[in-house]
Amino acid sequence: MAEKYFYLELGKEPKDSDFVALFKIEPVEGKSVEEAANSVAAESSIGTWTEVATMSESFRETFKARVTRIEGNYVEIAYPSILFEKGNMSQIYSSVAGNIFGMKDVKNLRLESLKTPKDFVESFDGPKYGIDGIREKLKIKKRPIVGTIVKPKIGLDPESQSQVMYEAMVGGVDVVKDDENLTSQEFCPFEERLKKCLEKRKKAEDETGEGKGYIPNITAPLDIMLKRAELVEKMGGIFAMVDIITVGWSALQSLRKESFNLVLHGHRAMHGAFTRNKLHGISMEVIARSARLVGIDQLHIGTAVGKMEGKRDEVEKCADALRLKEEGEGRLRQNWFSVKRAMPIASGGLHPGHIPALYEIFGDDCIFQFGGGIHGHPEGTKSGAKAVRDSLNASLRHISLSSAAEDSRELKMALEKWGSV
């Protein structure tokens, strides 16, 4: 192989100890995929723009990334694990998703998948509770968990926020969360909101005999975020929500390592800036794998049927990345070893008529989360929650929504307003 293709070793099998990345590469005009792949492997490992005296042959053979497969515009690159620091997700991303996205040799570049070797999988904390722990907290053995976001999503005072939450819970919702952009604004201070919502959660549990969860958004600079998590735990909360993209991997890892007795709910706000473009950026599957590694217990992944972008196969890959012991294909197949399974969250533009499709796609191990599809019910939040729960019960009993609506005024009204899928 010519020197300029030093990083190409096509046909060579990656080692079990390697990180393996799958990229989609569109080179700039005048460059081949092979040239662009070579440049990506170089820049994401040890390459530079000119010869340097400190780069011996043995050094390069030890530390270089290797392009092991090219199929059309899809390029597989194997990275020796010596390039990475165990338990440091930020450093991993700085390598495999760093400067390469600004290189002149590529017109478009997308990181489609990333396999992590065993030693590195086991260097991360993973979910503290995962699917089984969440079910134990809520006392829900098998069925999908039903959630909602308080609407309007921002602007309510603590008393109003807690009352909407309470009505959703007594109507049949299992968990209620803050919106991703509600933190501690002057109209709804965090501590006051937390206190009132936890009081109403207890009231709803007492009235319904069911486990309920309030999920406060603790997103903030790390020192404040940790204080909020501590307060949630001290006041008897069992969940905390974090906007995982905007706080960053290092903040998430720091939160997880504090070992609060809290289920960590991951919102993916801002992900679309780099996951939506199918030619350039990072896939949501990669983000889901990383979130599971660092310790998110439940994560938004899209719906395939609601208002958010994302086809069914993409959403299913994300669900697999969170809840399977092994997932992916071929050399990118990820073994999760002792890492607990995380719970996917389907959220975005959902209403009771979507539940049969959601149940067919996701099965039992998922949170179905509704916003306007509950609070926009003609009779209000409580009736909207009951319509959702009645729709779910119909799917669990394998009966049609039209049949279920004969015995549920709330479901009938919801279907008349929004229809079914």
Q: Are 170 and 299 in contact (CB under 8 A)?
A: no
CA distance 225 to 229: 6
State how far the alpha carbon of 162 is from the alpha carbons of 13, 169, 225, 276, in Å: 56, 10, 21, 34
Identify which of 129, 158, 134 has the alpha carbon closest to the alpha carbon of residue 146.
Answer: 134
The residues of the chain scoring below 50 in pLDDT are 1-2
DSSP string, 120-154: HHTTS---SSHHHHHHHHHT--SSPEEEEE-SSSS
One-letter amino acid for residue 93 of the chain: Y
Residue 60, pLDDT score: 83
Single out the catalytic residue among 151, 212, 265, 300.
151
Exposure string for 267-297, b = 16+ CB within 10 A, e = fewer: bbbebeebbeeeebbbbbbbbbbbbbbbbbb
Q: Are 113 and 283 in contact (CB under 8 A)?
A: yes
CA distance 285 to 114: 9
Residues 6+ apart with CB under 8 A from 160: none
Residue 303, pLDDT score: 87
Task: Work out the number of other CB atoms within 10 angstroms of the CB of residue 54.
Answer: 5
Beta bridge partners of 242: 266
One-letter amino acid for residue 22 of the chain: L
Residue 309, pLDDT score: 65
Asked if the bond preceding 27 is cis, omega within 30° of 0, the reply is no
CA distance 309 to 286: 17
Give the CATH class of 3-121: alpha beta
Helical segments of 154-189, H only: 158-171
Residue 308, pLDDT score: 62
Query: Rounded to the nearest 5 degrees, what angle is found at the Cα of 400, between the Cα atoms of 413 and 148?
Result: 55
pLDDT digits (tens, 9 = 90+) for 186-240: 999 999 999 999 999 999 999 999 999 999 999 999 999 999 999 999 999 999 9
Each domain of the chain, given as residue ranges in start order, spans 3-121, 130-418
The secondary structure element, H or E, covering residue 330 is: none
Identify which of 108, 117, 95, 89 has the alpha carbon closest to the alpha carbon of residue 296.
Answer: 89
CA distance 101 to 240: 33
CA distance 106 to 203: 57
CA distance 112 to 95: 15
Q: Are 21 and 77 in contact (CB under 8 A)?
A: yes
The domain defined by 130-418 folds into TIM Barrel (3.20.20)
What the block records as the tokens of 97 is 């998703």
- Tell me if residue 128 is catalytic: no
Single out the catalytic residue among 115, 267, 351, 377.
267
Residue 79, pLDDT score: 98
Domain 3-121 and domain 130-418 have a common topology: no
Residues 6+ apart with CB under 8 A from 237: 194, 198, 214, 216, 262
pLDDT digits (tens, 9 = 90+) for 70-85: 999 999 999 999 999 9
334: phi then psi, degrees, rounded to nearest 5: -100, 120
- Tell me if residue 280 is catalytic: no
Beta bridge partners of 71: 74
Exposure string for 334-370, b = 16+ CB within 10 A, e = fewer: bbbeebbbbbbbbbbebbbbbbbbbbebbeebbbbbb
Residue 421, pLDDT score: 80
Residue 1, pLDDT score: 39
Q: Are 262 and 229 in contact (CB under 8 A)?
A: yes
Residue 258, pLDDT score: 95
One-letter amino acid for residue 268 of the chain: R
